[in-house]
Structure 1
Amino acid sequence: MPTPKGRAAPENQLSTRFNLPARQAEGDWLDWAMQDWATEEGELPPLRTSVQIERPRTALNRNDSPDIPFDRSFNAYRGCEHGCIYCFARPTHAYHDLSPGLDFETKLFAKPTGPALLRAEFAKRGYRPDVLAMGTNTDPYQPIEARFRITRAVLELCLETRHPVAVTTKSARVLEDLPLFADLARLGLAAVMLSVTTLDPALARAMEPRASAPRLRLKAIAVLARAGVPVYVSVSPMIPALNDHELEAIMQAAAEAGAVHAITIPVRLPHEVAPLFEAWLDANRPDRKVRVLNAIRAMRGGRLNDHRFGARMRPQGEWGRLMATRFATARKRYDLNRFVAPLRTDLFTPPRLDERQGELFLTG
């Protein structure tokens, strides 16, 4: 069955992991496919994106995972219109009785009160600043950021309070906030990481259909670097037998654009992501399916995913050792392991809450 135009997930089956009944959402493209919507070329009408406003009680997420180099993060959105088929965050939609498939790409949640909640958190007596990570779950610069500007509001708050912030994205939309990043960087308060998975436009369009094209991500690296913003490249995820042959080429292109440091993480396929990825291979790379899945199993101890701390971010076996060796060699060759001073925490100044914000939190 064809994938909807402009989307990555080829199906929208709900998860039963939380004992929710498997069902098909009304208006789902699977219903349309049974009607006369398909064209002669087999294309289906593009799905519309809907956004629901979420009003959380807190906005700062804390973590103590030994695999992650930060202890706090903020996620402006749930779900991601970029639609990356391999996204490890897809299973979070199951908590909302939504599918990690197409629902994750089309039924989004925005948190417009998030910046105010962060302001209240920063203003708490005894709050100790450290790097605020953004883009750790879903992309802070996905297309709906143009409408909500939640990420921009957080950056403005960080500049006001001199709070360090690090952003990870696949979107050249990050350049819309270039003045903020430049001002933060001059104070030693900001770093940006661009994720580049492939230089092949066709593969990128199929695998991450609504993220910025690879050339635009490289351009974003160059513009940020020229503005004095420390820029990292995440060559992630590396998928053996699919995009891993591009590892060195991506690192070279990122270094030439101005990146100063590189990381790489092997593909992770937790919970519902594994069957979605298999279905994507059937639809987009059927000739490679067996080889890709066998290679993933070879670097994951015979499974498609290894959830254990200390192992989930590191490939194992011969595939893993080869990938690690290639990455280390390329990082040295292209000087992508340069020292970058840690973001500063000594400039932080707690914000003041205005009366309207005080009422918001008293009544929330």
Structure 2
Amino acid sequence: MPRPTLNDSKTYPDLEQQPAPQATVAEPRRRGRGAGLNMSGRFERLATEAFDDGWDGLEDLPAFKTSVQEERARTIITRNASPDLSFDRSVNPYRGCEHGCIYCFARPSHAFMGLSPGLDFETRLFAKPNAAELLERELSRPGYTVRPIAIGTNTDPYQPIERRYKIMREVLEVLDRCNHPVAIVTKSALVARDADILSRMAERNLAKVALSITTLDRKLCRAMEPRASTPSKRLEAVKALSDAGIPTSVMIAPVIPALTDSELESILEAAHEHGAAEAGFILLRLPLEVSELFRDWLVRERPDKYRHVMSLIRSMRDGKDYDAKWGERMRGKGPYADQIARRFQLAAKRLGLNTRRRKLDSEQFISPQKGGVQLDLFGS
């Protein structure tokens, strides 16, 4: 396949057409949200769509408001066997995410709840108040093998509702008592609230934190990640955690070609200046409904960039919006993908990032049953 160019409509002729399979929700109803669509979930037998029939009925529809439903989960540790991931287990205190990042690859998971990956994902949230209790129970099971638990790999554990529910803090308290290693990824400066627990764990080489920073452009961030912390607040959190002795890194996730990839070096420089010791990146992923949501967002927010962004994405995904192949879904392939990877490597090397990858300690674990939750039958 020839490498597409900005003016090459023959390679991807559909790029000339703006995507309009769904009616965009009126701006007053979605103000402060990332998605412009609220399509029905892919498992639903019937699809519904609001439209203006000329009688001004849409003007009477209320704005989308955040609602939280408490979910009594039955299990809390999720396992995976992906060769692309550095962890094999994770914990998700919440379903859905109020941050509203338009590119979030977790959006399709809301379809399993009978809800839309669009506006429902960022407004109809689920909290798991029994997460810490379940975690303690699962860690105490006979034969449990210790490896670092990743948190924030699906929806953000420090999204705004965490201020009220404090589920993430309760989870950390369990991990701290058990000497269990944890790796956190977040887009929220709220993570600095738990620096007291994380610093204690870091002293035992049991914790590390990654702040995800996509852009340093405050205006673009507001449009793309409407309810996440501003880039400057995230960098302040990097410094606060680093100053507290907590190993901190920055994830440029995702890198969006022709929109944010020009900032790659400047983000790494800012991360280094604020105390980050490691860094990583992930290329934009558009699985399932995320593709339609992202393309609709591009047409609304960056119409002049639409053809260029999508052309480059497809040049790295075998002509598709997304390719889920192991080894390629995080990085893409082709000349442009190689260029992004090489730029990252050179900048990280120049700044002294990633000179030593920290491996968390899994040898200090104390099962909850041996640590006071349940008395040992024979004592010690």
Alignment TM-score, normalising by the size of structure 1: 0.91
- Give the one of 137, 142, 160 matched to 2:154: 137
CA contact (8 A) 1:20 1:97 kept: no
Distance 1:213 1:45, change over 3 A: farther
The yes-or-no answer on 1:300 pairing with 2:300 is no
Indicate the SS of the match to 2:69: strand
Q: Is the 8 A contact 1:6 1:46 kept in 2?
A: no
Q: Which among 104, 107, 113 is matched to residue 130 of structure 2?
A: 113
- Deviations along 1:38-92, one digit per CA (max 9) or x if unpaired, are xxxxxx9752101111112111101110000001100000100000000000000
Tell whether the 8 Å contact from 1:191 to 1:231 is kept in structure 2 after alignment: yes
Shift of residue 195, structure 1, vs aligned partner: 0.2
Q: Determine if contact 1:230/1:340 at 8 Å carries over to the other structure.
A: no
Distance 1:175 1:33 in 2: 47
What is the SS of the residue equivalent to 1:220?
A: helix
For 1:337, the aligned partner's letter is: N
Q: Find the counterpart in structure 2 of residue 236 from structure 1.
A: 253
Q: Please state if 1:20 is matched with 2:37.
A: no
Indicate yes or no: 2:191 matched with 1:166.
Answer: no
CA distance in 2, matches of 1:72, 1:224: 24
SS at match of 1:58: coil
- Which residue number in structure 2 is paired with residue 41 of structure 1? none
Structure 1 vs Structure 2 CA RMSD: 2.1
> Which 10-residue stretch deviates more, 309-318 or 286-295?
309-318
Instruction: Tell me what 1:196 maps to.
Output: 213
2:162 maps to amino acid: E
Identity of aligned residues (%): 50
Equivalent positions of 1:321-360 (< 5 A) are 321-352=338-369
Contact 2:52 2:58 in 1 (8 A): no
For 2:303, what is the secondary structure of its paired residue?
coil
CA distance in 1 between counterparts of 2:159 and 2:364 reads 30
Distance 2:198 2:78 in 1: 22
1:269 has 2:279 as partner: no
Give the deviation of 1:124 after TM superposition: 0.9
**3-state DSSP of counterpart to 2:139:** helix
Distance 2:146 2:320 in 1: 39
2:32 maps to 6
Partner in structure 1 of residue 113 of structure 2 = 96
**What secondary structure is seen at the aligned counterpart in 2 of 1:235?**
strand
Q: Is the 8 A contact 1:131 1:164 kept in 2?
A: yes
* 2:229 aligned counterpart, secondary structure: coil
Q: What displacement does 1:300 show?
A: 0.8
- Find 1:57's aligned residue among 46, 52, 74: 74
- Match of 1:204, SS state, is helix
CA contact (8 A) 1:5 1:45 kept: no
- Secondary structure at 1:264's aligned position in 2? strand
1:67-86 alignment to 2 at 5 Å?
67-86=84-103
Unaligned runs of 5+ in 2: 1-23, 375-380
Q: Distance in 2 between matches of 1:225 and 1:289?
A: 38
Q: Which moved more, 1:47-56 or 1:285-294?
A: 47-56
Shift of 1:338: 2.5
CA distance in 2, matches of 1:139, 1:284: 24
**TM-score, length basis structure 2:** 0.87
Distance 2:48 2:186 in 1: 33
CA distance in 1, matches of 2:157, 2:197: 15
Rounded to whole Å, the distance in 1 between the matches of 2:209 and 2:36 is: 31
Rounded to whole Å, the distance in 1 between the matches of 2:337 and 2:127 is 37
Q: Distance in 1 between matches of 2:49 and 2:367?
A: 48
- 1:268 and 1:354, CA in 2 relative to 1: closer, same or farther beyond 3 A? same
Q: 1:21 to 1:99 in 2, by over 3 A?
A: same
Change in 2 beyond 3 A, CA 1:60/1:23: same
Structure 2 Cα separation of the partners of residues 209 and 230 of structure 1: 27
Aligned positions, number: 346
Residues 316 and 34 from structure 1, CA distance in 2 versus in 1: closer, same or farther, beyond 3 angstroms?
farther
